[in-house]
Each structure stands twice: as C-alpha cells, then as structure tokens.
Structure 1
Amino acid sequence: EMAATVVVKIGPIKATFNGEVTLKNLKPPHSYTIQGEGKGGIAGFAKGGADVTLTEDGPDTTVLKYAAKADVGGKIAQLGSRLIESTSKKLAGQFFSSFGEKVGG
C-alpha cells in the first residue's frame, strides 16, 4: 500500500485527491492489478484500477498492456461521463508512459 496525491483537471474543475494505491494479484513477471482510491474534498471521490500484463518481446523489451477503469462521485461526477472518461483515459496513458520511461531508463 502506498500513499498517493493526484491533481486532476476535468473541464472547469481542478481537484486534489489524496488516497492510497495498492498492488494486488501479483503474478511476477506476468501480471498484476493496481487499485487506487482517493478523496478530493468538495470535488468528491475517485477510485479505479487497471489490470496490467507484461509480455517479453525480445531480450531487452517488455510490452505492457493495461485495461483501466475509473469511478467518480460528488461534484466532479456532475461534469458528464464523456468528459470524465476521456480524462481518465488520458491520465492512465500518462501514468503508464511515465512508468515506462522510469523503468526503461
């Protein structure tokens, strides 16, 4: 379990979510599940996760694939599902891109 702080802007609302991230279903070196949940004060709450698979693709390459899901509630949920969905996909992409840069060097 790890503490996490995420600042997110969805449409006109910018919120800071404080919460925890947990890795589950660890099956090294093939797959794991990452889950997180946080509260953003008046903005509401967010929770979600991703099922991650890792596949060797040559001696120095690993392919990471993920299927992410998210759920929000409170004031931020009033913004509409299309806006929230596009923002959550963007955030997941940024997270795993940054993860790949850190791990890959």
Structure 2
Amino acid sequence: MRIKDSFTVEAPPEVVWDFLQDIPRVAACMPGLESVEQTGPDEYKAAFKVSVGPVKATFSGKATIVERRAPERIAARIEGNDPGSATSVKADFTGRLSGVKAGTLMEVDMEVALRGRLAQFGSAVMIATSKKLTATFAARMQKAIET
C-alpha cells in the first residue's frame, strides 16, 4: 500500500533538515511513540502504539536511515510487529523537503506492507489513520522548531 502526504513547516529547509537529524526531538513529535533507542549508526529500535478502528496495537521494531541528502531528502526502512494483534509491518519511508514561500514543504511517501489483524481494515482506513498521525506529527514538529 502506498501512502503519500505533505505538510508545510514555517521554517527554512535548512532548519527543518537540522531538526530531522535530531532523532530524540523527532521522536518526541511522533504520536504513540513510547520509546526510541539508538542501536548503531543510523539504526534505532522503537516501541509505539497505534489504534486502527477498534484494534489497538503496540509495535516493537527497528528503523534504519538508508539515505540522507541534505537538505532535501531523507529515507528510512522501518520494520515492526505486534504480537497482540498478530500484525507485522514493513515500510520504506521517504521525506522530501523543498522551499516554499511559507517555509518548507515536506512530502512524505511510504510504501507499506502490512500483514495480520490490522491489514483487514484495508487501505482506505489505513491511509486515513496515517493522515491523522501525520497531521499530529506536523503540528508537534512546528511547535518544537519554534521553541
């Protein structure tokens, strides 16, 4: 399933780029994230909760940053599973930054493979959930950059 979204941050691309390199600050903006720990260069393990419809899941997994092209592109590979809902997820994430009049446009593109109980909800529900999470992240990111 492909998920695309975008949002604007009221800051120049270089400021947004620097923010994205500070993983603890980025993590603090992610809805449902319970923990993140660096395990190696560009490698992190994390735990996060998400609700899709009536199903709540707690994923544990890893994220690896696979590309950095300052100040315009960052890419990561994400894998996780939730034993409680028997769901696994693999995602390739790309974030593209471009300067716009209002600041920085961040375009998010994810290719997601979801298996298990959460997959039963189909792409429409998953995309709607993703857009809600992205909007929350964007608002938190804007606030974090301003402080």
| TM interval, short-chain normalised | 0.7 to 0.9
Indicate the residue corresponding to 2:55 in structure 1. 13
C-alpha distance in 2 between matches for 1:38 and 1:70: 11
1:94 alignment partner, one of 133, 136, 147: 136
Matches within 5 A, 1:5-84: 5-43=47-85, 44-57=87-100, 61-84=103-126
Identity of aligned residues (%): 27
Q: Contact 2:78/2:93 (CA < 8 Å) preserved in 1?
A: no
TM-score normalised to structure 2 length:
0.59
Cα distance change on mapping 1:65 and 1:85 into 2, 3 Å: closer
TM-score normalised to structure 1 length:
0.78
- 2:71 is paired with a residue of what secondary structure? coil
**Unaligned stretches of 5+ in structure 2?**
1-42
- 1:39 is paired with a residue of what secondary structure? strand
Q: CA deviation at 1:104?
A: 4.3
Q: Contact 2:78/2:91 (CA < 8 Å) preserved in 1?
A: yes
- 1:85 is paired with a residue of what secondary structure? helix
Cα distance change on mapping 1:3 and 1:104 into 2, 3 Å: farther
**Unaligned stretches of 5+ in structure 1?**
none
Aligned length: 104
Cα distance change on mapping 1:2 and 1:69 into 2, 3 Å: same
- 2:78 is paired with a residue of what secondary structure? strand
